Chains A and B, each alone.
Chain A
Amino acid sequence: MNGEWEPKIVAFLCYWCSYAGADLAGVSRIQYPPNIRVIRVPCSGSVNPLYILKALREGADGVLVSGCHPGDCHYLSGNYFARRKFFLLHELLRFLGLEGRVHFSWVSASEGGRFAQVVQEVTEAVRRLGPQKAFSEEIDTYVRDGNSSSIG
């Protein structure tokens, strides 16, 4: 199809909160952009940073990871560990100059409206950045060889 470009966003939603929140948005007939592809996970703490990298590598324009609010984790502390882990990933991506592709949010099972709003915001943020090329564009390794810049 030759329609206008639409961002593809992979969303890792925790089973106990955000996935239920998405469900609530659905049954409440709240409209949100159809750009997310939902992957249900047991807990935001179970999301391996490699999953996020893999999603980007396979061509996702953005990634959203969403879990329970702090203190509400079904497994008591999974989201606290997730927060530390994803803070590091967030800072690492920022260091590389790749900020804005990977998003994190807390959405509870009762926040259908909030879920729709988060998806709206994330979709808009990713749309502003345009298609994701860092991970998806094939760049020939050897063409660029010899152009090392050094820091001292």
Chain B
Amino acid sequence: MYETEIRHLSGELLESGDVEGIVGYAPGPLPLSAQPFLFRTSSELQNLIFNSFCGMNLARYLVALPKSAGRVAIVAKGCDARAITVLLKERQVEREKLFIIGVPCLGMLDRKRLSARFGELREGDIEFRGEKLIVRGEPVALLEFLDWTCARCRYPRPPLFDVLVGEGTREPLTGGTDGLLRLWELSAEKRWEFFSLELSRCIRCYACRNACPMCYCRECFVELQRPLFAHPAPSLKDNLVFHLGRAMHLGGRCVECGACERACPLGIPVALLTCALSEVVREHFAFEAGVSLEAEPPLLVYREDDPDAFIR
């Protein structure tokens, strides 16, 4: 998908000296996986890939670049571009030092669900065709293997870019059952049963936080010793403080990329919490993170008629 075009463009950028490197994806250590890579020379570009297993949010690696680094280009699908927009708003990256290669995204596929059904797969075995997926010639519903964050994605096309590769811009999918909405339909007791089970499994490796482009605090509240908000040893109560605290920090900032959830070694659906808040912000404060460079962050402004039914 668009690999040739991205490579060609990246080669031109590197050779002209316009950028020092390309933040993109290289093949990962496993089949159907990818890893972030900083491409510094044109010869490395043969390794640049873009497919439906490039689930980590590359904006994460922009904040990790040293301050002395020069201008870089970044391969950005919809959610990466939204994350970059939030980082620009929060002045964590400089626009002048960034060249955004926008890539329309078809959604990320769940490697585990695919291999459970089809066994060992390789890249060539999978083909996108509209709302269908052709796996080794067998057509299956795309929604069945798409990550749930991607199934409900509203911005497959990057809202911010310097150049957009590929002419096909996928429309947001419809007809999928939104995992979030399905949870809201359950009773409060059922939801708590679900979340207490899921969050008690958390081993607090902080992979979710480390994968998150918005979690760039040098010192995270969960690792503070004084005051101690959560004990480092995993237990449900401390896990709750971590996940709720993180979700609150991401209120109105989460771009719903799902990178945290893909990073979780235990497969806990951690993105549910932050996405639920994004949904609340969208509904009540009419704001979506990373869609516009002008809109004011929702927690930095207020209206006199904000929701107040929850206050006595």
A residues sitting closer than 8 Å to B (CB atoms) are 49-50, 53-54, 57, 70-71, 77, 80-81, 83-99, 103-106, 118, 121-122, 134-141, 144-145, 147-152
Contact = CB atoms under 8 A, between A and B. Distances in A.
Nearest to B247: A92
A51 to B, nearest CB: 9
B208 interface: no
Contacts of B155: none
A134 B197 contact: no
B266 interface: yes
Contacts of B300: 81
A57 B244 CA distance: 12
Given A54-B229, A92-B273, A49 B302 contact: no
Interface of B: 144, 148, 177, 179, 182-184, 187-198, 200-203, 221, 227, 229-230, 234-241, 244-245, 247-248, 251-252, 266-269, 272-273, 276-277, 280-281, 284-285, 298-300, 302, 304, 306-308, 310-312
A118 B312 CA distance: 7
A148 B196 CA distance: 11
Given A54-B241, A141-B202, A148-B268, 15 more contacts: A53-B245, A81-B299, A88-B280, A92-B277, A98-B192, A106-B311, A135-B237, A139-B200, A141-B200, A141-B201, A141-B203, A144-B200, A145-B201, A148-B201, A148-B267
A95 B240 CA distance: 13
Nearest to A58: B237
A57 B230 contact: yes
21 contacts: A53-B241, A53-B245, A57-B230, A80-B304, A85-B299, A88-B277, A92-B280, A95-B183, A122-B312, A134-B236, A135-B241, A139-B236, A141-B235, A144-B201, A147-B197, A148-B198, A148-B201, A148-B266, A149-B198, A151-B269, A151-B272
Given A83-B302, A95-B184, A118-B312, A53 B240 contact: yes
A53 to B, nearest CB: 5
> Which has the most chain A C-beta neighbours within 10 Å: B237, B240, B281?
B237
Nearest to B176: A152
B197 A144 contact: yes
B281 A88 contact: yes
Contacts of A104: 310-312
A40 to B, nearest CB: 17
A105 B200 contact: no
A91 to B, nearest CB: 5
A93 B247 CA distance: 11
Contacts of B266: 145, 148
A25 B147 CA distance: 54
A53 B269 CA distance: 21
- The 5 A-B residue pairs with the shortest CB-CB distance, nearest first, are A97-B192, A97-B191, A105-B312, A80-B302, A97-B188
Contacts of A92: 244, 247-248, 251, 273, 276-277, 280
Count chain B CB atoms within 10 A of each CB in A86, A97, A138 and give the residue with the most: A97
- Which one of B144, B235, B239 has the highest number of Cβ atoms from chain A below 10 Å of its Cβ? B235
A151 B268 CA distance: 10
A121 B312 CA distance: 9
A97 B189 contact: yes
Contact of A50 (B195, B197, B245): B245
Contact of B237 (A57, A93, A103): A57
A105 B184 contact: no
Given A99-B188, A144-B197, A148-B266, A134 B182 contact: no
A99 B281 CA distance: 19
A134 B196 contact: yes
B183 A151 contact: yes
Contacts of B244: 49, 53, 92-93, 96
A117 B239 CA distance: 34
A135 B242 CA distance: 12
Contacts of A94: 188
